[in-house]
Structure 1
Amino acid sequence: MLIFVFFLHITIRILLTVAQLCIVGSGPAGFYTAQHLLKNCPTLEIDMIEKLPVPFGLVRYGVAPDHPDVKNVINTFTAIAKSGRLQFVGNVTVGKDVTLNDLRNAYDVVVLAYGAAQDRWLGISGENLCNVVSARKFVGWYNGLPEESHLKFDLDAETVVIIGQGNVALDIARILLTPIDMLKKTDIAQHALEALSQSKIKNVKIVGRRGPLQVAFTIKELREMIKLPGNSYRIHLENPEYIDACLPKTSRPRKRLTELMLQSSSMKRSEEDSSKQWELIFHRTPIKIVGDSNANKVNGLVVGINHLTGDDWENPQVEDTGLRETIPCGMILKSIGYKSLPLSDELPFDHAKGIIRQTEGRVEGMQGVFCSGWVASGPVGVIASTMQSGHDVGKRIIEDLKNGIVGTGTRKPGRDAILSQLEARNVEPVTFVEWEALDNEERERGKYQKKPREKIVDVREMIDIAKKGQS
């Protein structure tokens, strides 16, 4: 019996050793999947493919610049990347520089963890007017995402409406209203800092379709807004008695968040020394975006007033009262979620939901292909929930390797085949060591501005600095 167990253990180790594995995407989903695999398969090595020359995905380009503590997870990801068992291959776009079929031919296991990069639409008239902007683009702009860094926004309007009531909506409101001297100390992109320093925005209205019991932001985000220097606020609660009666049915985090809204709605901050204001407005459904006389720039949002029905306070029915009102504004930011895009026509893709069709991380009909994070679940949760998703997918991969479902055929060529293809196609892959040279340059530039780093936003410049640092 002991001999059998010994040979079984050796067989499993051989299977895990010879398996060639790559992960597409270097954000939290990709790194947490890699973390579980590397921890539980001591002989496994992984290639991580990223379309940008830099790693870390939404931690670098999605987390608000005034939340440096959230970005500390980069230290964990860096340790994984420098473990000697993960090779970062940056500046490679799957679907353009290499195909999904190329990866499947080169690797036993392919994990798709490339996130969500398409905006959701409201589907109402006026959505194409100037200064109607998606949250994704705006966040990318102030965080220095190369593809959004060239954007220009008209910040001369005094009133801005943000549609949506999640953490991203509050992030955007906070960035718009934070005193510029505070923003200067963060890693916000310089072009955004300069534009915001000239901003005339004084009032931000954060509008939601449902009520205070259904908001998607967290208590931490709300506390930051309440304490924001130089700002007064209004939280419009139409039926506080009903809300209070629902509290015993709620989870502890939801209860604490709702209690803070109830307390804050009745405790108005003094407006002395407050040149700006934000508001939380509930039970408003966007109906139409109104343009100016030239019909090319927004000057108002028409909303329908609704009320919620049903016994399920968590997922109530939204019922239109038929009443309408117009909220005057000069800019609208849509924080209503993102969708993923298929990077291959062969992928089984749910276009309505914007996710890959999968079961427990296994992509339907594509043996050896897995997906992790938002491309599998949609844009829900925070970094902690993405960690759980990544670890769960890692477990499934290990199960399939051990059970001989994947990695049992002819030995795959792995990275060598992909690097040969990239060379033939004149693609310049960036290694993690080269990224560290770029990282050092950004930190050095930041010192002159007295900020953590000054992000470089031109891809060609990124590559040149990375390569020069290792020449």
Structure 2
Amino acid sequence: MPHVVTQACCGDASCVYACPVNCIHPTPEEPGFGTSEMLYIDPSTCVDCGACVSACPVGAIVPGHRLTDDQAPFADLNAAQFDSTGDGAASFPVDPARRLPLAPIDKPRRLAVDGPLSVGIVGSGPSAMYAADELLRHPQVTVTVYERLRRPFGLARYGVAPDHLATRSVMRLFDDIARNPRCDIRLGTTIGRDLTLDDLRGRHQAVIWAGGAPTDRRLVIDNASAPGVLSATELVGWYNDHPDHDNLQVDLSSSRAVVIGNGNVALDVARILTADPEGLTDTTISRHALRALRTSAIEEVVVLGRRGPVHAAFTLPELIGLDTNANIVVDPADVPDSGDTAVIDPTTSAKLDLLAEIAARPARPGRRIRFVFHRSPSAISVDPGGHADGVVVAHNVVSGTDGIEPTGVTETIDAGLVLTSIGYRGVPVPGLPFDDTRGVIPHDAGRVLDHDGPIPGMYVTGWIKRGPSGFIGTNKTDSAETVAALLTDFEGGMLSGHETPPRRRLLSRLG
């Protein structure tokens, strides 16, 4: 049987370049790579060589004959992405008479400049480590990574759910990068407190800002800051032992929690809140969170989406994984038949089919996760003491392609814990330009831009560059673009000195 990509896929495309027959798609050169929910193996092309297995940093690729029951749905999901019938229904139509060209392997080239290159990288998350990996391909490059926390790797450590052990194993790859003798990671170093941006630009010929998108998008409704309302990011940090959230007070005394938003992070927190705490003992969950969950009164977590299942933000792989590990409840009236919609991509059709299957099941006892669609929060209701006790929601109908219209019907969903999960946002970096509308640093192929054009020697990568989109592995191609621009500038003589250009001195000063 062919090999199969499973839920743990990080999407960094290492397997694409390892495959000798180009059966893994989308490749970084194909238009769907940046938005694909995962990578897929064409079963009609796979030759079962196993090269992809050793290349995958998270152990996501499994021979077909070794799939567990939980992984079995991924065999059909992989196959559904390819089409040899020519009807165009699949994501990657394949002409059976023609083998697609092999994915190009970008071998390190010798730089046109022989001198040394010193690069500072701010942040140590996936985008930073992938950038370091690209740079360290060249023996004349040295990299210093500056991380404000006492442990490295950012969201790979503090953002991945503690029970997703396979996905967290990508940190082994980052450990390998960090062991390079030309890579130095300086932990507990805050730019703006311990060093200024000017200091970095005096030490290095180039600086890459890889600070991510560390805050949540705000929910602007009444009582959104009431006790009992937290962001999903705070809760994730709390159960992942993030030092910023050690002292977070999480009220688990009520029988219901509501998560506003239905992306993958929303599903993660819903799953952790309803999981058997004993099943989390052997995961990386923080001990203080595990103690609190053992006494939790929560029986139901409502995951709230303002549009319907067709537009749900969670991915199909995440839904498949949740279905095997949690008790999910869906109202059958909320799920359209995939054949009755305008959906043509197999991933969304499969998502609707699975939701319909879940909706048709009889109710099971025990803690549950309830998906509720077509609801927009309009206010947080509070008790006489000012603590959150529910979410006031307005019923919607989908209007047009992406819009919604209120029906005039409202209701209150009782809950003592409310979590907002409506996306991340970058924050301004003192001394660097910032696009406040998008929450990113303006750039051209990774070169930081101000009103005068590119700032010499200053680059950006990751979520602070492109916005909070994609998965861990998406940062690999993103960082490769930034590093390519940096090396081009180095070869062009634009990074020859360590001194900050005079016109930038005040601009780049951090307070």
Q: 1:245 aligns with which of 308, 319, 340?
A: 340
Q: What letter matches 1:334 in structure 2?
A: T
1:308 is the counterpart of 2:388:
no
Point out the more displaced range, 95-104 or 252-261.
Answer: 252-261
For the Cα contact (< 8 Å) 1:300–1:327, is it kept in 2? yes
Structure 2 CA distance for partners of 1:388 and 1:137, relative to 1, 3 Å:
same
1:191 is the counterpart of 2:280:
no
- Name the CA distance, whole Å, in 2 between partners of 1:343 and 1:328: 39
TM-score normalised by L of structure 2: 0.73
Q: What letter matches 2:366 in structure 1?
A: S
CA deviations 1:131-167 (Å, max 9, x no partner) are 1000111100000001101112110110100001111
Match in the other structure for 1:282: 373
1:264 is the counterpart of 2:358:
yes
Match in the other structure for 1:394: 483
For the Cα contact (< 8 Å) 1:212–1:237, is it kept in 2? no
1:299 is the counterpart of 2:389:
yes
User: 1:261 Cα deviation (Å)?
Assistant: 1.3
- Name the CA distance, whole Å, in 1 between partners of 2:159 and 2:444: 27
For the Cα contact (< 8 Å) 1:37–1:395, is it kept in 2? no
CA deviations 1:161-215 (Å, max 9, x no partner) are 0001111000000100110111111110000000111100000000011111111
Match in the other structure for 2:492: 403
- Name the CA distance, whole Å, in 2 between partners of 1:386 and 1:321: 40
- Name the CA distance, whole Å, in 1 between partners of 2:134 and 2:447: 16
Structure 2 CA distance for partners of 1:155 and 1:163, relative to 1, 3 Å:
same
1:171 aligns to what SS in structure 2?
helix
- Name the CA distance, whole Å, in 2 between partners of 1:412 and 1:20: 12
- Name the CA distance, whole Å, in 1 between partners of 2:111 and 2:272: 55
How does 1:35-434 map onto structure 2 within 5 Å? Answer: 35-39=133-137, 41-228=138-325, 231=327, 233-238=328-333, 240-241=335-336, 243-246=338-341, 249-268=343-362, 270-271=363-364, 274-294=365-385, 296-310=386-400, 312=401, 316-344=402-430, 346-365=431-450, 366-404=455-493, 406-408=494-496, 410-411=497-498
Percent of matched pairs sharing the same residue: 35
- Name the CA distance, whole Å, in 2 between partners of 1:219 and 1:211: 15
Point out the more displaced range, 368-377 or 347-356.
Answer: 347-356
User: 1:411 Cα deviation (Å)?
Assistant: 4.7
For the Cα contact (< 8 Å) 2:337–2:353, is it kept in 1? no
For the Cα contact (< 8 Å) 1:95–1:343, is it kept in 2? no
- Name the CA distance, whole Å, in 2 between partners of 1:121 and 1:194: 29
- Name the CA distance, whole Å, in 2 between partners of 1:10 and 1:288: 59
- Name the CA distance, whole Å, in 1 between partners of 2:291 and 2:143: 41
Q: 2:129 aligns with which of 19, 28, 31?
A: 31
User: 1:267 Cα deviation (Å)?
Assistant: 2.5
Which structure features the higher share of helix residues? 1
- Name the CA distance, whole Å, in 2 between partners of 1:411 and 1:357: 23
- Name the CA distance, whole Å, in 1 between partners of 2:278 and 2:244: 27
Q: What letter matches 1:256 in structure 2?
A: A
- Name the CA distance, whole Å, in 2 between partners of 1:60 and 1:240: 35
Structure 2 CA distance for partners of 1:148 and 1:364, relative to 1, 3 Å:
same
User: 1:386 Cα deviation (Å)?
Assistant: 1.7
- Name the CA distance, whole Å, in 2 between partners of 1:318 and 1:285: 9
Alignment gaps of 5+ in structure 2:
1-108, 501-511
Match in the other structure for 1:12: 112
Q: What letter matches 2:449 in structure 1?
A: E
For the Cα contact (< 8 Å) 2:215–2:425, is it kept in 1? yes
For the Cα contact (< 8 Å) 2:162–2:240, is it kept in 1? yes
TM-score normalised by L of structure 1: 0.79
Match in the other structure for 2:44: none
For the Cα contact (< 8 Å) 2:337–2:352, is it kept in 1? no
Point out the more displaced range, 196-205 or 258-267.
Answer: 258-267
Structure 2 CA distance for partners of 1:51 and 1:254, relative to 1, 3 Å:
same
- Name the CA distance, whole Å, in 1 between partners of 2:405 and 2:325: 34
For the Cα contact (< 8 Å) 1:60–1:71, is it kept in 2? yes
- Name the CA distance, whole Å, in 2 between partners of 1:31 and 1:179: 34
- Name the CA distance, whole Å, in 1 between partners of 2:341 and 2:134: 40
- Name the CA distance, whole Å, in 2 between partners of 1:10 and 1:359: 24
User: 1:237 Cα deviation (Å)?
Assistant: 4.7
Point out the more displaced range, 255-264 or 52-61.
Answer: 255-264
Q: What letter matches 1:87 in structure 2?
A: D
For the Cα contact (< 8 Å) 1:235–1:279, is it kept in 2? yes
Structure 2 CA distance for partners of 1:219 and 1:11, relative to 1, 3 Å:
closer
Alignment gaps of 5+ in structure 1:
1-8, 414-471
CA deviations 1:390-448 (Å, max 9, x no partner) are 122122212222223x312x3569xxxxxxxxxxxxxxxxxxxxxxxxxxxxxxxxxxx
